[in-house]
Structure 1
Amino acid sequence: MRIIAYKKIFLSSLLLVVLAPKMKAQDQNITVSQDPKFEQLLNEKRKINTSLTVNDSYKIQIYSGGSENAKKTLNEFRQEFTTIDATIVFNTPNYKVWVGNFKTRIEAERNLTNIKDRYKNVLLIKPSR
């Protein structure tokens, strides 16, 4: 009985010694292919994130409602007021168009009077997130 056990151990060891040099690990060559539009989208997102410093600035809300009208309002605003930053923010269930990035309330109110002439139902807001 012992002889059979020794034979099994000997054969297992011999098999391991013979086959061990032929075993290989997986290759570590990895190729990642990325759509070029992904980098472009990432850059756009970075631009948007830098323009959304909401904690310490005043904004003027010029629209609240559906997505398509928000996009239309944003484009119209950007054509008319080229020096004021504008963005769309989604707060369930409405899309809101926020304009400006004013450090003081006085600065925001000055711009509010100009914007009120063109857009109805404008609000001066200081968002908190």
Structure 2
Amino acid sequence: MKTLKKINVFSILIITFLFSQNIFSQTTKTIIEQDEKIEKLLQEKRKNNSGITINDKFKIQIFFGNIEESKKILLAFKKEFILLDGTIIFSNPSYKVWVGSFKSKIEAEKSLINIKKKYPSAVIIEPNKK
């Protein structure tokens, strides 16, 4: 008789445990509500990122030094060479002025000829080459 009571109590506990798992389990439905403005911002960001020419193979370095001088050199360069874009890159402990975005070395060499007239220390570099 005692074993029968133990079995009944044990079976009730197991049944209760199994049913309680279903009661407290989470549902798998997830509803995400997103504002339209977020999607528009993402599209704008993708469009801007596609214009970044960081993956171009060759650039021309026209200066290596401190930040003040780098800014002056870049401004002077942009006034003289309107069609070529330029940027300042920090390379510890100095700054570099890189100009142009060329897909081939031949393109870079053609521009280098004109740039060397004003900036004799200019060199062709490959920024992504490790």
Q: Output the TM-score relative to the length of structure 2.
A: 0.58
Q: Is the 8 A contact 1:112 1:124 kept in 2?
A: no
Q: Distance in 1 between matches of 2:42 and 2:72?
A: 25
Give unpaired runs (5+ residues) of structure 1: none
The answer for the alignment partner of 1:123 in structure 2 is 122
Q: Deviations over 1:70-95 (max 9, x none)?
A: 34533442233111132333332222
User: Per-residue deviation at 1:16?
Assistant: 3.5
Count of aligned positions: 121
The alpha-carbon deviation at position 12 of structure 1 amounts to 1.8
SS state at 1:7 partner: helix
User: What's the CA shift for 1:107?
Assistant: 0.8
Residue identity matched to 1:14: I
- Provide the C-alpha distance between the structure 1 equivalents of 2:73 and 2:42, rounded to a whole number of angstroms: 27
Q: Give the C-alpha shift of residue 6 in structure 1.
A: 1.4
CA offset digits 1:19-39 (Å, max 9, x no partner):
3553341552356786x8887
State the match for 1:47 in structure 2. 51
Distance of 2:60 and 2:17 partners within structure 1: 75
CA distance in 2, matches of 1:88, 1:125: 15
1:103 aligns with 2:102: no
Percent pairwise identity: 26
Check whether the contact 1:108–1:124 (CA below 8 A) recurs between aligned residues.
Answer: no
2:30 counterpart residue number? 28
Matched, 1:78 2:81: no
With over 3 angstroms needed to count, the CA separation of the structure-2 counterparts of 1:18 and 1:113, relative to structure 1, is closer
What SS does the aligned partner of 1:78 have?
Answer: helix
Partner of 2:115: 112
Report the Cα offset of residue 111 of structure 1.
1.8
Deviates more, 1:7-16 or 1:63-72: 63-72
Give the SS at the match of 2:78. helix
Q: Gaps (5+ residues) in structure 2?
A: none
Q: C-alpha displacement at 1:42, in angstroms?
A: 6.5
Query: Aligned-pair distance for 1:46?
Result: 4.5
Instruction: Output the TM-score relative to the length of structure 1.
Output: 0.58
Q: Is the 8 A contact 2:62 2:123 kept in 1?
A: no
